[in-house]
Chains A and B, each alone.
Chain A
Amino acid sequence: MHGPEASCGKPSIRKWYMSLPSKAFQRWLHGIAPNTSTADVCRFSGVKRTTLAQQLVRGKVAESSLVSISRAFDMNPFDALAQFEAYAALRGTQVPPTDAELVSQISTTDLLRAIIERSDPREGAPALVLAETPHASSVRNWVDAIDDGGLRHRVSIATGIAPQNFSAHLTANRLPPELALATSQAAGVGPAGGLVASGLVTEAEAGWPPGARRDALDRMTEGELALVAGERLQAMGKALRRHEHELDHSNRIWENLG
């Protein structure tokens, strides 16, 4: 489980939203669309022109821009990312996702539907079709699925990110791509999982076989499924309660002073 860079790395102060260097990005863009103006690239891909211009000037292009542009030019964004030095880990044969990773990318509602489908099968009921990735708590569920107990600590050592900042990302259900990569490396799983969980690429783009999540779901016993769904419900209930509590608090202020 321990990657060599995870256990002996000195804390570094790299920024995890550092993104892709402009120069390399422009070289890549020229490679896929040599005769297209930047304006047209933006029009095809839906990336805002001002946004891209700003990213280019600052020398850092967001991975999400690259993903939108490669999709517009019918290129696999996962392969496009792999061409950049920071994403060299995406090159070559991919380590397939573990069952736990696959199940973590199934939404809580779908897990509950699966339980009902299994325990109370009805004739003529439409078969369960899993919702697309990512789902509302996909990032935290993915990290929980690959965590052996010391993952957060190792990610923190490998990347220099403070544990509370890492947690904040999980709570907000987002994960900067490079941090996603570092997390999968620290856990010793394939590099794609975090990119799928954070919604940067789809499971198909990441090379997960079609139906892989469904198959992993079907491989679970009823007990395993109930336990996973139970944990999810528990976490969801807590998050909802917290939200409701905050809402009550705001409403109270507004009622008294508004």
Chain B
Amino acid sequence: MTTVLAWATLSVCVILTAIRIPSAVRGENRMVFVLFALISLDILLSIEGPYMLIDGWLGNFNLANLLLRFMLYGTFLLMGIKVARAFGSAIGERAIRGPIGLAVLVATAVLTAVFFFSMDTRGSSVGLSDLDAGPALELYAALGRLYPGYVAVCLIPGIWSSVRGTGPGLLRAASATLLLGLGLMTVSQLFPLIPDSAEWLRPVINYSAALATALGFGGIWLSKAVASRKVAR
């Protein structure tokens, strides 16, 4: 079930990235293409098969996981800036690329690396699930959720006011889907509260968040195409 969801999310992201290729070649909004390529790579690295392969190249000590963390931070920095600007949320943009946002990012990144290298990480395992549990691993995982959650919280108010506005229905629906994705990322901060018996919930929430976010972006493009077709007519 989780594997299906993971691969489905990956295919959606890869398809959306491919759709962006022509406009990226034309030079329109290349950042959005880069963003989607990054999201696709993030998801690829979080699936067991590709993870084991890539981590094998990197020396089998889960460096791929650290790489994934840093890529995720980059993805969220880029997405945060783009989305905050798109939704006209000056406060959100400042909170992400201003001094506070950058401080949160740098602190998270440094601590992530510190905790990673403080652990014995030998033996590839996706999500580090085979490593010995301990406070360092817990903190490392929490940091990985923290920055995406921070960005999500910064973006939610701006998107929410668009969803409640009176813009085109499709655009509002797409914004609501994006909002759902970011909302799920915020929820993922509460992962430590999920009992072990319901552990399957974590990947479900993670992939649903990624899927909803990707579909939200796709919906925004679609609404643009529909709107420009209406104008042309």
Q: Indicate if A88 sits at the interface (CB-CB under 8 A).
A: no
Selected interface stretch from B6-14, B82-90, B96-104, B136-144 = B82-90
Check if A253 sits within 8 Å of B220, measured CB to CB: yes
Question: Chain A residues near B43 (CB, 8 Å)?
Answer: none
The A interface, classified by DSSP as helix, strand, loop or mixed, is helix
Question: Chain A residues near B88 (CB, 8 Å)?
Answer: 249, 252
Mark each residue of chain A from 234 to 258: 1 if its CB lies under 8 Å from any CB of chain B, else 0. Answer: 0000000010001001101111111
Chain A contact residues (Cβ within 8 angstroms of B): what range? 10 to 19
Rounded to whole angstroms, the CA-CA distance of A258 and B166 in the bound complex is 19
Mark each residue of chain B from 192 to 230: 1 if its CB lies under 8 Å from any CB of chain A, else 0. Answer: 000000000000000000000000010011011001000
Check if B165 sits within 8 Å of A256, measured CB to CB: no
Q: Enumerate B152-173 residues with CB–CB distance to A below 8 Å.
A: 162, 165-168, 171
Q: Enumerate A48-80 residues with CB–CB distance to B below 8 Å.
A: none
Check if A256 sits within 8 Å of B224, measured CB to CB: no
Specify which of B82, B83, B227 is in contact with A254 (CB 8 Å cutoff): B227
The B interface, classified by DSSP as helix, strand, loop or mixed, is helix
Specify which of B83, B85, B167 is in contact with A250 (CB 8 Å cutoff): B167
Check if B220 sits within 8 Å of A246, measured CB to CB: no
Distance (whole angstroms) from the CB of B112 to the closest CB of chain A: 28
Specify which of A242, A250, A255 is in contact with B171 (CB 8 Å cutoff): A250
Question: Chain A residues near B224 (CB, 8 Å)?
Answer: 254, 258
Name the CB-closest residue of B to A255. Answer: B86
Residue of B82, B217, B227 with most chain A CB atoms under a 10 A cut-off: B227
Check if A249 sits within 8 Å of B167, measured CB to CB: yes
Check if A257 sits within 8 Å of B167, measured CB to CB: no
Name the CB-closest residue of B to A258. Answer: B224
Distance (whole angstroms) from the CB of A16 to the closest CB of chain B: 22
Name the CB-closest residue of B to A243. Answer: B166
Check if A256 sits within 8 Å of B168, measured CB to CB: no
The interface size of chain B toward A, counting residues with CB under 8 Å, comes to 21
Rounded to whole angstroms, the CA-CA distance of A249 and B175 in the bound complex is 12
Check if B171 sits within 8 Å of A253, measured CB to CB: yes
Specify which of A246, A254, A255 is in contact with B166 (CB 8 Å cutoff): A246
Check if B220 sits within 8 Å of A249, measured CB to CB: no
Distance (whole angstroms) from the CB of B226 to the closest CB of chain A: 11
Distance (whole angstroms) from the CB of A240 to the closest CB of chain B: 13
Rounded to whole angstroms, the CA-CA distance of A42 and B29 in the bound complex is 51
Check if B32 sits within 8 Å of A246, measured CB to CB: no
Mark each residue of chain B from 58 to 90: 1 if its CB lies under 8 Å from any CB of chain A, else 0. Answer: 000000000000000000000000110111100
Question: Chain A residues near B166 (CB, 8 Å)?
Answer: 242, 246
Question: Chain A residues near B223 (CB, 8 Å)?
Answer: 254
Rounded to whole angstroms, the CA-CA distance of A249 and B86 in the bound complex is 8
Distance (whole angstroms) from the CB of A164 to the closest CB of chain B: 14
Specify which of A242, A246, A257 is in contact with B86 (CB 8 Å cutoff): A257
Specify which of A242, A255, A257, A258 is in contact with B83 (CB 8 Å cutoff): A257
Question: Chain B residues near A246 (CB, 8 Å)?
Answer: 165-167
Rounded to whole angstroms, the CA-CA distance of A246 and B88 in the bound complex is 11
Rounded to whole angstroms, the CA-CA distance of A258 and B87 in the bound complex is 12
Residue of B85, B86, B175, B223 with most chain A CB atoms under a 10 A cut-off: B86
Mark each residue of chain B from 172 to 188: 1 if its CB lies under 8 Å from any CB of chain A, else 0. Answer: 00010000000000000
Check if B227 sits within 8 Å of A250, measured CB to CB: yes
Question: Chain B residues near A242 (CB, 8 Å)?
Answer: 166
Name the CB-closest residue of B to A250. Answer: B167
Question: Chain A residues near B165 (CB, 8 Å)?
Answer: 246, 249
Rounded to whole angstroms, the CA-CA distance of A111 and B86 in the bound complex is 40
5 further A-B contacts with Cβ under 8 Å, apart from A246-B165, A254-B224, A257-B32, are A252-B85, A256-B86, A257-B86, A257-B217, A258-B29
Interface residues of chain A, those whose CB is within 8 Å of chain B, are: 242, 246, 249-250, 252-258
Of the A-B pairs whose beta carbons lie under 8 Å apart in the complex, a sample of 21, sorted by A's number, is A249-B88, A249-B162, A249-B165, A250-B168, A250-B227, A252-B85, A252-B87, A252-B88, A253-B86, A253-B162, A253-B175, A253-B220, A254-B220, A254-B227, A255-B86, A256-B85, A257-B29, A257-B32, A257-B83, A257-B221, A258-B29
